[in-house]
Amino acid sequence: MQLIRYRLSPTQTVVGITEDGKLVGYIPASFHALLGLHTDELRIRLEQVTQAQEAAFSFSDVLAPIDGETEVWAAGVTYKRSMDARREESETPDIYSKVYAAARPELFFKAVARRVSGQDQPIAVRADSTWDVPEPELALVINAYGEIVGYTVGNDVSSRSIEGENPLYLPQAKVYAGSCALGPAITPAWEIADPYSLTMYMTIERNGETYWTGQTSVGNLHRRLEELVEYLYREDDFPGGAILCTGTALVPDHPFTLQSGDTVKITIDQIGTLRNPVVRGKAAYKTDRSNDAVKNG
């Protein structure tokens, strides 16, 4: 079973339930309302949905699986590969080794729902940045009670030149128009026996050809998923739930930089493939998303 968010009519979005990629029913609800349920209540609610609604559905209507007040957060330097890459780019390399080894993880705010790109929607590199990368990450879907209820694919698109210049510029390197993509579907947590055994792949296509490809395992994560959630919820409330990107382990070597026209594909076993074209700058991003106004509403 997987959950998608899709447009049922020009004014209504619903939560669809798929089996083997086929829609088997939908709930006329928002994702953030479902994230107000405990895991066992959510499971019962989803398993009650059996009515086929295929006539009302087209995969071109699939939206990013986030709405309302649900926030996207991200963890950083959770894989050795991320620490090593950031030590190379930074004028203050020690902060990365220290946070990798510290008890407290690095957590940062990434996006509100309206800022998130879904399947085939553009992601952006900043026009004032010279070195940009996608960051493929396992994203946890967490309910209001701090329980991991699902998993999706996340892309924490980042400016390495801006972060590398000064770590205090991190919010500008991480949070800007087109910097976050999620989806296309959420796999319920009870369907994934061992998230640490998942393999993650990224392919970057340029001019119709594979320009960069790599893979890693969530098993290389230096922290436990529950530990990241515990820190996020320790002194904050998330009544509409939260999505937490868990850090990247796939970092293309310098001098690779994302370009307008590239396509980024991130696949995680049992979760799916998130595919996004790249544009440069907020003007291009806004033009591409000008028809999306209701998508994340």
77 is a contact residue toward ligand DO4 (CB under 6 A): yes
Give the footprint of Mg ion on residues 225-284 (CB under 5 A): 248
Under the criterion CB under 5 A, does residue 135 sit at the interface with Mg ion? Answer: yes
**Closest residue by beta carbon to ligand DO4:** 76
**How many binding residues for Mg ion (CB under 5 A)?**
3
> Minimal CB distance to Mg ion: which residue?
156
- Beta carbon nearer to ligand DO4, 17 or 77: 77
Interface pick for Mg ion out of 71, 106, 156, 163 (rule CB under 5 A): 156
Tokens representing 287?
Answer: 């033009």
Q: State which residue, 74 or 153, has the beta carbon closest to ligand DO4.
A: 74
Please give the residues from 228 up to 257 whose contact with ligand DO4 meets the rule CB under 6 A: 247-248
Concatenate the DSSP letters of all residues of the chain into one string. Answer: -EEEEEEEETTEEEEEEEETTEEEEEESS-HHHHTTS-HHHHHHHHHT-----GGG--GGGEE-S--TT-EEEEEES-SHHHHHHHHHH-SSTHHHHHHHHSSSPEEEEEEEGGG-B-TT--EEE-TT-S-EE--EEEEEEE-TTS-EEEEEEEEE-EEHHHHHH-GGGHHHHH-STT-EEEEEEEEEGGG-S-GGG-EEEEEEEETTEEEEEEEEEGGG-SS-HHHHHHHHHHT---TT-EEEE------PPTT----TT-EEEEEETTTEEEEEEEEESHHHHHHHTTT-TTTT-
76 binds ligand DO4 (CB under 6 A): yes
236, exposed or middle or buried, with CB in 10 Å at 0-12, 13-18, 19+? exposed
Closest distance of CB 95 from ligand DO4, Å: 8
Please say which residue, 135 or 205, places its beta carbon nearer to Mg ion.
135
Q: Does 70 bind Mg ion (CB under 5 A)?
A: no
Task: Give the pairing type, strands 242-245 and 136-142.
Answer: antiparallel
Q: Any contact of residue 135 with ligand DO4 (CB under 6 A)? A: yes
Tell whether residue 272 is a contact of ligand DO4 (CB under 6 A). Answer: no
Q: Does 74 bind ligand DO4 (CB under 6 A)?
A: yes
Please report how close the Cβ of residue 108 comes to Mg ion at its closest, in angstroms. 9
Residue placing its CB nearer to Mg ion in the complex, 132 or 135: 135
- Quick check: 82 binds ligand DO4 (CB under 6 A)? yes
Residue 37 Cβ vs ligand DO4, minimum distance, rounded to whole Å? 29
Residues in the chain, overall count: 297
Of 89 and 288, nearer to ligand DO4 (C-beta) is 89
Residue 16 binding result from Mg ion, ligand DO4, none, given CB thresholds of 5 to 8 Å by partner type: none
106 binds, among ligand DO4, Mg ion, none (CB under 5 to 8 A by kind): ligand DO4
**Does residue 154 bind ligand DO4 (CB under 6 A)?**
no
* Of the candidates 101, 111, 27, the residue with the CA atom closest to the CA atom of residue 69: 111
Site residue total, ligand DO4 (CB under 6 A): 12
Per-residue exposure over 206-216, b if at least 16 CB sit within 10 Å of its own CB, e if not: eeeeebbebeb
156 contacts ligand DO4 (rule: CB under 6 A): yes
Q: Looking at beta carbons only, is 15 or 139 nearer to ligand DO4?
A: 139
